[in-house]
Amino acid sequence: MAKMLNDRDSTDRHLDLIRRHMRLCKQIKGAGPMAAAIEPVYQVLRQKQIATTAQFNARQDALDDFILRDLELDDAVRTAFEKCKQFDRDNPAAPVLLKMFPDGKYSEITRIERAKEPDAIEQLAVRFESLGTNHALYGIAADLRAKVAASRTGLTTYQTAIRNHKLAEADEEITQANLRQQYEVNYLEIRKFLGRGATDRLFPRQSAGSGGEESEEPGGAQPS
């Protein structure tokens, strides 16, 4: 009996075997309608695969953007730290570095998990705001908040992209199942009027390798 597809087979394997199956059906009198019966589901799976690829790319792009926003957020913290050091050198009687960075370093903030870092930096912005609107470093708070907002937007976009990608994958898997079911229906229906031996010819062999390529090459050894 022809080997049917299973849920472990990739979308590429599904599409490859069904394309070949339809092509073979069109060459045998009476089997053409079965090619027409399965082609709509085949075309849907092709579109689902394209959609999944697009969502995967969007997910990767969103991750790249989120990482970039995080690096920009880290840079803003470093800049704030350096400005505090400079201010303290210029104003030794009114130092602010340890008020803004109690640990005396900025790495305690920039090493925080990306998703949690904006909250910590927002607290830093609050400390700068506490200096008062007339303080030379007060404007740093706005810079930090702008970078925090961009980072949070990046995170939200990335989280949405993850969900969209998973939904697309699930949708593709459902369509795979529909295609497998129609493939089995085709086998049973074709066997009714062609018989098992002739029917098996219309269902391409599957190799153990990738891509679903034919396991036999012309002129190669034939199975006994």
pLDDT of residue 208: 56
Q: How far apart are CA 224 and CA 219, in angstroms?
A: 15
What's the whole-number average pLDDT of the chain? Answer: 92
Enter the DSSP assignment of 135: S
In a domain, 122, yes or no: yes
What is the pLDDT confidence band of residue 205, given thresholds at 50, 70 and 90? confident
Handedness of CA 156, 162, 165, 169 (dihedral sign): negative
If one counts the domains in the chain, the total is: 1
As a whole number of Å, the CA-based R_g of the chain is 31
Residue 23 or 2, more confident: 23
Indicate if the pLDDT at residue 38 is higher than 90. Answer: yes
Query: What average pLDDT does range 63-77 have in this prediction?
Result: 97
216 in any annotated domain: no
For residue 32, give its domain range. Answer: 11-204
User: Does some domain include residue 199?
Assistant: yes
Residue whose pair of structure tokens reads 């340890």 in the numeric block: 98
Taking the CA atoms of residue 162, residue 168, residue 174 and residue 179 in that order, the dihedral angle to the nearest 10 degrees is -140
| 132 in a structural domain | yes
Confidence band of 7 (pLDDT split at 50, 70, 90): very high
- Given a contact cutoff of 8 angstroms between Cβ atoms, the answer to whether 148 and 126 are in contact is no
Q: Is residue 215 part of a domain?
A: no
149 occurs within a structural domain: yes
Query: Picking from 59-73, 93-107, 135-149, 196-210, which range would have the lowest pLDDT averaged per residue?
Result: 196-210
Average pLDDT over residues 140-166: 98
> What per-residue string of b and e applies to 56-89 under the rule 16 or more CB within 10 Å gives b?
eebbeebeebbeebbeebbebbeebbebbeebee
- List pLDDT tens digits, range 90-104: 999 999 999 999 999
* Residue 3 maps to a domain: no
pLDDT value for 213:
46
**Is residue 4 included in any domain, yes or no?**
no
In angstroms, the Cα distances linking 189 to 24, 26, 110, 185, 192 are 15, 15, 64, 6, 5
